[in-house]
Amino acid sequence: MLTRRTPLFARDRVVAAWIALAAWPAGGMGVAAIAVSRHRSPVGLALVVGALGVAAVANLVVARRRRAALLRRSTELSR
């Protein structure tokens, strides 16, 4: 924390959000492959995977906004 001079957990949340966003299509394709191999209808699955994608994007947006707000606050306090 002292050497980086940035909020400690804000960057971690952004990195975690990027990981979730990267893992979302891989997990979705894996689950879709299993559903197709079992001859199940992937319509409900597509809705769930889509909802997970929306959640991953929303998490990234919130994490980036929170980090930006913390960095702005840090800049204000250091003046």
pLDDT digits (tens, 9 = 90+) for 30-77: 888 888 888 877 788 888 889 999 999 999 999 999 999 988 988 888
What sign for the dihedral angle of Cα 33, 36, 38, 44? positive
Question: Which spans in the chain are helix H?
Answer: 8-37, 43-78
Q: Please state the domain count of the chain.
A: 1
Whole-model pTM? Answer: 0.75
Domain assignment of residue 4, yes or no: no
Domain assignment of residue 1, yes or no: no
Domain that holds residue 49: 9-78
Domain assignment of residue 31, yes or no: yes
Domain assignment of residue 55, yes or no: yes
